[in-house]
Amino acid sequence: MGAVTLSKPLLYCAPMEGVTGAAFRRAHARVFGGVDRYFAPFFSPTREHVMPPRVRRELLPANNPGLTLVPQLLCRSAGDFIWAAQSLLDMGYGEVNFNLGCPSGTVAAKGKGSGFLAFPDELEAFFEHVFSAIAPERISVKTRLGVEDPAEFDRLLDIYARFPIRELTVHARVRRDMYKLPVRLEGYAAAAERITVPLCYNGDVFTPEAAERITARFPGTHALMLGRGLIADPALAREISGGGRASRAELREFHDLIYDGCARDFGNENVTVPRMKELWSYLRFQFAPCEREYKRLAKTRRPDDYLAAAHDILVNVPLAVDGHYEVN
């Protein structure tokens, strides 16, 4: 039996390393809104049990005003997780998310992220330690269906059903699918049938129509997590709720707030430029095809050159007819 049917799911911003940092979150909440929770890119605690200043700065509630932020942890040691989770709860957060979804080769090779799913017995023991030390319903989980075969999800669902998880987010792919193969909705259907805690769907929600298809097929879905679709179309959450597309003025304000925020947070505009170019690999879908202008932006190194190239696109290139993310 699945979760209780909701008329309207919550909308989450997925954690994307190098993109959805504090500057992005502040700008998005101010200009577009529509997101109920922002999930921070993962922090990987070490045995020294010290939170790096950069991580603390990103997660400080004062640096994330006017929005609901959920920190995310990635690790394989229950002791390290318990220390980090308790530290975050002590900072005032009511929820900490555990990353079992990252498909990166360097992460998975260490048995972390989706790589941890290859060791279900160890994962179950990990949860035994964590949930004996952390108050119930403070830990949420983001998972894939498995590593190689979606049949692995059956055992994983047995594990998830045993513990007081606050919410389970399912990215409907296995690790080897990465992001390009089609989502496997039969895996999410299995979770919807067997999991009684709130369930969040993640995977290829690039348009309001895609969101509608998921919620129509799985009406018990508690939330939708938007990743690439929201970065490419920052008004997507608003559109799903019945609002309008991003305007040129909004896109300019959004871009400039992120740039200024990154420059302030990092104290170095030369660090800001590579981060902004990563953002543009998605944001370019808001504009009509402009290979010449985009290549000029991608080649920039100096802040002045970058700003000139970015503002050329923001001011002069026509907006796209559709404006939604497309898988290459």
According to DSSP, residue 319 is labeled B
Q: 10-240 domain in CATH 3.30.360.10?
A: no
Residues whose CB is less than 8 angstroms from the CB of residue 256 and which lie 6 or more positions away in sequence, other chains included? none
User: Within its chain, how far is the Cα of 32 from the centroid?
Assistant: 17
93 beta partners: none
Backbone dihedral region for residue 11 (phi beyond 0: left; psi -120 to 50: alpha; all else: beta)? beta
Per-residue tens of pLDDT for the chain, all 328 residues: 344 444 689 999 999 999 999 999 999 999 999 999 999 999 999 999 999 999 999 999 999 999 999 999 999 999 999 999 999 999 999 999 999 999 999 999 999 999 999 999 999 999 999 999 999 899 999 999 999 999 999 999 999 999 999 999 999 999 999 998 999 999 999 999 999 999 999 999 999 999 999 999 999 999 999 999 999 999 999 999 999 999 999 999 999 999 999 999 988 888 999 999 999 999 999 999 999 999 999 999 999 999 999 999 999 999 998 878 776 5
- Tokens representing 17 are 């390393």
Q: Could you tell me if 171 and 201 are in contact, meaning their C-beta atoms sit under 8 angstroms apart? A: no
Query: Measured between alpha carbons, how far is 71 from 98 in angstroms, rounded to an integer?
Result: 9
- Tokens representing 263 are 């420059």
Closest CA to 72 of 139, 171, 154: 139
Tell me the three state secondary structure of residue 71: coil
pTM (predicted TM-score): 0.95
Closest CA to 133 of 163, 107, 169: 163
Closest CA to 119 of 147, 82, 154, 151: 147
